[in-house]
Amino acid sequence: MTQDTIKHHLTDALLMAYSAGSLPEAFSLAVAAHVSMCDECRARLGAFDTVGGSLMDSCEAEEMSADSLASTLKLIELSDTRPLAPADAAPIEEGVLPAPVRAYVGGDLEAVRWRSVGMGVKQAILPTSGGATARLLYIPAGAAVPDHGHRGTELTLVLKGAFEDKVDHFGPGDIEVANEDLDHTPIADIGEDCICLAATDAPLKFNSWLPRIAQPFLRI
């Protein structure tokens, strides 16, 4: 992706939180995926990383406890880590899913385990921890996601196709940051199916009764 095609970017607050490591895993995944597609946000993130490094260099050193190394190694051993490819590894073939998402899926679209949520829309919930959820969404061309609001923040990154709502038109690489102030009905473009990565830190507020009934089972 290039700056010519991506029009909707991450906020400074999200990039700074990602740089500081304070985002929940699902949001970190959405940010990492967008940054891997967007030259502008990647450059802005690099600037925040530089500022953070400078601040750490200027801080006074704190004395560590005698068992700090052993405790850290134990946490690493117990964590669900995903090994990174070595620097000299063969490049991953280009696909629909950006590299950070492929690491969670175990491949590109052919590896996604879709589950129908009705009206042709499908989802695949990704294995993230913490106080937010990440999912891939498949929206057939011309189909709409039910009208809904938000109890928290929702990040929606377009990976393929495009959708439109009351805010604007979002194409590949664009990310929509929605909060409690936005009620919308995203509609996929007619010409192509839309695939998105969505991260939420609270359940959506659906405005019709049928999605509300299905909501607990679909974990939306």
The answer to whether position 91 is within a domain reads: no
Number of domains the chain contains = 1
The answer to whether position 148 is within a domain reads: yes
Q: Quick check: 76 and 43 in contact, CB under 8 A?
A: no
CA within 13 Å, CB half, 62: 5
For the beta carbon of residue 46, count every other beta carbon within 10 angstroms: 13
CA 174 to chain centre: 12
Look at residue 85 in the predicted model and tell me its pLDDT: 37
The answer to whether position 183 is within a domain reads: yes
CA atoms 17, 21, 24, 25: torsion sign: positive
The answer to whether position 216 is within a domain reads: yes
CA 156 to chain centre: 7
pLDDT digits (tens, 9 = 90+) for 59-103: 565 666 666 566 656 555 554 444 433 333 333 446 899 999 999
pLDDT digits (tens, 9 = 90+) for 138-193: 999 999 988 888 889 999 999 999 999 999 999 999 999 999 889 989 999 999 99
The answer to whether position 63 is within a domain reads: no
The answer to whether position 8 is within a domain reads: yes
| Structural domain containing residue 6 | 1-54+98-220
What CATH number does residue 112 fall under? 2.60.120.10
The answer to whether position 210 is within a domain reads: yes
Look at residue 184 in the predicted model and tell me its pLDDT: 87
For the beta carbon of residue 38, count every other beta carbon within 10 angstroms: 24
Phi, psi of 126 (to 5 degrees): -90, 150
Which run of H or E residues covers position 176? strand 175-178
Maximum pairwise Cα distance, the chain: 62
Q: How far apart are CA 35 and CA 24, in angstroms?
A: 16
Which residue, chain included where needed, has tokens 């929509």?
Answer: 176
Q: Quick check: 175 and 89 in contact, CB under 8 A?
A: no
The answer to whether position 78 is within a domain reads: no
Which run of H or E residues covers position 102? helix 99-105
